[in-house]
Amino acid sequence: MNRSAPDTHEPTLDYHDLALAAPKAERYAELRRRVAALVEHEDDWLANLANAAAEVFAWLPHLNWAGFYLMRDGELVLGPFQGRPACVRIRVGRGVCGTAAATRQTQVVPDVNAFPGHIACDVRSRSEIVVPVVVDDEVVAVLDLDSAELASFDDEDRAGLEALVAALAPHVDWARACAS
Ligand code: SME
C-alpha cells in the first residue's frame, strides 16, 4: 500500500465557475489532471473510485448525480457516487446504464423521458450520459452522470469522459472492485 500520496485536497469553491470558463475540451483535460493527481499514488480501488466520482461531481457543472456501477456476478451494482441515494442493482440491458454495459457504447441521452426503459433514481434528472468501462475485453463498470438540465451532454462530453475513464482504469484493481 503506497501511503505517500500528496495532500491533493483543495477547496471546492468556484469549481463550477472555473470549469464553465473553459471550453469543454480544456475542461475535461483539467478534470483528467485533477483525477490523476488524486489516484496516481494510491492503489486502493474504493478510495480511487470514490475520489474520481467526487471530483467529477465537484468539477463538472449541472450535475445532480455522478458515480459508478460495478459489474458483479453479471449485474451492475451501485458503487462510489455523489448525489442522492440511487437504485442499487441494474440488470445488463436495462435502463441507460444497462444499455451502455450491453452495447459497450457510451449512451448520450438528451432527454431521459424519451429513453425507453430509463430508470428514474432521482426525479431531478433530465439528461444523462453513461460510459462503459471495458478492461481486458470485459465490461467491469459504467460511469453514470445525471444532469438536471435537458441536453447537458454532447459528443465532446462523451470524448472527455471516455478519455477520463481510460486514464482512470489502470488505477483501479477491478478484480477486487467487482468481487461480490
Ligand atoms: N438512470 C439510470 C439509473 C441510475 S441513476 O441515474 C443513478 C439508468 O437508466 O440506468
The domain that holds 99 is classified in CATH as 3.30.450.40
Question: What is the extent of the structural domain holding 62?
Answer: 15-177
Q: How many domains does the chain have?
A: 1
87 located within any domain: yes
10 located within any domain: no
Kindly report the number of other CB atoms within 10 A of residue 3's CB atom. Answer: 6
123 located within any domain: yes
Run of H or E including 141: strand 138-147
Quickly state the pLDDT bin for 6 (edges 50, 70, 90): low
115 located within any domain: yes
Quickly state the pLDDT bin for 21 (edges 50, 70, 90): confident
How far apart are the CA of 137 and the centre of ligand 1, in A? 23
Q: Which atom of ligand 1 is nearest to the CA of 119?
A: 9
Give per-residue pLDDT as tens, 33-54: 999 999 999 999 999 999 999 9
pTM beyond 0.75, yes or no: yes
67 has pLDDT over 90: yes
DSSP assignment of 46-76 equals: HHHHHHHHHHHHHHSTTEEEEEEEEEETTEE
Residue 12: predicted pLDDT: 54
5 located within any domain: no
What is the pLDDT averaged over residues 21-31? 90
Q: Which residues line ligand 1 (CB under 6 A)?
A: 65, 86-87, 90, 95-98, 118-119, 121, 125, 128, 144, 146
1 has pLDDT over 50: no
Q: Which three cell numbers stand for residue 151?
A: 441536453
86 located within any domain: yes
How far apart are the CA of 8 and the centre of ligand 1, in A? 30
